[in-house]
Amino acid sequence: MKLRIAVVAGDGIGPEIVTEALKVMETVCKRFGHLLSLDRRLAGGCAYDVFGQCLPDETLEACRSADAVLLGAVGGPRWDGLPGAERPERALLGLRAGLGLFCNLRPAKVWKALEGCSPLKETHTASGIDLLVVRELTGGIYFGEHRRSADGRAATDVMAYSAAEVERIARMAFDGAMGRRRKVTSVDKANVLETSRLWREIVDAVAHDYPEVELNHMYVDNAAMQLVRAPAQFDVLLTENMFGDILSDEASQITGSIGMLPSASMRADGFGMYEPIHGSAPDIAGKGVSNPLATILSVAMMLRHTFGLSAEADAVERAVGQALDDGFRTADIAGSGSAVSTAAMGRAVCDRIAR
Ligand code: IPM
Ligand code: MG
């Protein structure tokens, strides 16, 4: 199979982690006989420096014509002074909207070898965390009207959802649950918000088409609490854009290592953009100490969700598990032990795929 991938390495540690993820990609292609074709493009602060805008048209076009996008991270203190509409984060929002990526998958699980990293270790509740946040990504308050009054003393952000927007993300969540433990927890604020009451109605209706899946509804404040109290209860967490942003950060932290978590932003046709959940970490950029595993695991998600190559995806995930079991740790997950470099971790994974 030919895998045509647009690569947007971005800012900060983006380039170094993407380098390792691409080595993994090459190793997989070699072992399984696939052809890799890469189209490298700029987005984020680095694009602003060259083009005067964070998301140049040519980048969006290149992403549109690829099969999938691999993204590192965007942003950094150098560009923090830019006005809201020009900031590097806008490149991310522009890619999501411009590519129609309404569904964001954020799996969070505890790797056996890393259980000790979780802040929940004292109560042992970290054991068994294996959940998937399905976050609506192109609607809600992120994309409603943002307005400031003429005198600058009042502001409004509109949260809006259509039934169709809720239905398509709900279907993605139930489909995802069918391949997992068949449980969906839909998170909303239906005791206050009208968008949440619509959300609940639609999710209930979609649930009728999935009789094997158990559905429950939870308010977002309770969900935030349950995530630290008893996180192993969750399989698929389905939620709207802003709640998903917040809960997925919380879910990532309870696994003990934000440097481990991949993500996928998808359309219904399988096209997707894949990136680590963490940011560009400008403070450690260029030192060769960042953890490439989140980006490597994003490549595994790409192989599975866009290309349907599950044996290849399993090979990558298994190799990551083995590298961890064999004691490889980058600084973020090393605790008081010794750490290996970004490149050494990438190599450890490649070696275990090639075997
Ligand atoms: C994320 C990030 C983005 C978001 C920011 C950078 C706009 O926090 O991907 O979760 O809020 O969606
Ligand atoms: Mg976020």
Spacing, Cα 245 to ligand 1 middle (Å): 6
Question: Which residues neighbour 222 within 8 Å (Cβ) at sequence distance 6 or greater?
Answer: none
Q: How many angstroms separate the CA atoms of 255 and 300, rounded?
A: 19
Q: Kindly tell me if the per-residue pLDDT of 125 is higher than 80.
A: no
Q: Kindly tell me if the per-residue pLDDT of 65 is higher than 90.
A: yes
CATH class in words for 130-254: alpha beta
pLDDT at 119: 75
pLDDT at 150: 97
Q: Kindly tell me if the per-residue pLDDT of 38 is higher than 80.
A: yes
Which of 245, 246, 258, 278 is the pocket-test mutation for ligand 1 (most atoms within 8 Å of CB)?
A: 245
What atom in ligand 1 is closest to the CA of residue 242? 11
pLDDT at 57: 98
* Range 22-25 contact pairs with CB under 8 angstroms and sequence separation of 24 or more: 22/70, 23/346, 23/347, 23/350, 24/296, 24/299, 24/316, 24/319, 24/346, 24/349, 24/350, 24/353, 25/70, 25/299
CATH fold for domain 1-104+258-355: Isopropylmalate Dehydrogenase (3.40.718)
pTM of the model: 0.87
What atom in ligand 1 is closest to the CA of residue 96? 12
Q: How many angstroms separate the CA atoms of 289 and 340, rounded?
A: 7
What atom in ligand 1 is closest to the CA of residue 74? 6
pLDDT at 273: 98
The answer to whether the 1-104+258-355 and 130-254 domains have the same CATH topology is yes
Q: Kindly tell me if the per-residue pLDDT of 188 is higher than 70.
A: yes
User: Is the torsion defined by CA of 303, 251, 242, 172 positive or negative?
Assistant: positive
Mean pLDDT estimate for the chain? 95
Spacing, Cα 2 to ligand 2 middle (Å): 32
Q: Which residues are catalytic?
A: 142, 189, 221, 245, 249
Question: Which residues neighbour 208 within 8 Å (Cβ) at sequence distance 6 or greater?
Answer: none
Which of 79, 87, 90, 92 is the pocket-test mutation for ligand 1 (most atoms within 8 Å of CB)?
A: 92
Any ligand 1 atom below 6 A from CB of 250: no
Looking at the CA of 89, name the nearest ligand.
1
Give, using CA atoms, the residue closest to atom 10 of ligand 1: 245
Task: State the burial class of residue 194 (Cβ atoms within 10 Å of its Cβ: 0-12, 13-18, 19+).
Answer: exposed
**pLDDT tens per residue across span 126-146:** 778 999 999 999 999 999 999
Residues within 5 Å of ion ligand 2, judged at the Cβ atom: 245
pLDDT at 121: 66
Q: Kindly tell me if the per-residue pLDDT of 123 is higher than 70.
A: no
Any ligand 1 atom below 6 A from CB of 69: no
Q: Kindly tell me if the per-residue pLDDT of 66 is higher than 80.
A: yes
Q: How many angstroms separate the CA atoms of 111 and 99, rounded?
A: 32
Residue 7 pLDDT class (50, 70, 90 cuts): very high
**pLDDT tens per residue across span 321-347:** 999 999 999 999 998 899 999 999 999
At residue 349's C-alpha, the angle toward residues 346 and 351, to 5°, is 105
**pLDDT tens per residue across span 272-285:** 999 999 999 999 99
Strand positions, DSSP E, the chain: 2-10, 35-40, 68-73, 103-109, 130-136, 146-148, 155-157, 183-188, 214-219, 236-239, 262-266, 272-276
Please state the domain extents for the chain: 1-104+258-355, 130-254
**312's tokens:** 């290849």
Classified as helix, coil or strand, 120 is coil
**319's tokens:** 């190799």
What atom in ligand 1 is closest to the CA of residue 248? 10
pLDDT at 59: 98
Any ligand 1 atom below 6 A from CB of 89: yes
Q: Kindly tell me if the per-residue pLDDT of 242 is higher than 90.
A: yes
Task: State the burial class of residue 308 (Cβ atoms within 10 Å of its Cβ: 0-12, 13-18, 19+).
Answer: exposed
| Cross-strand bridge partners of residue 236 | 132, 184
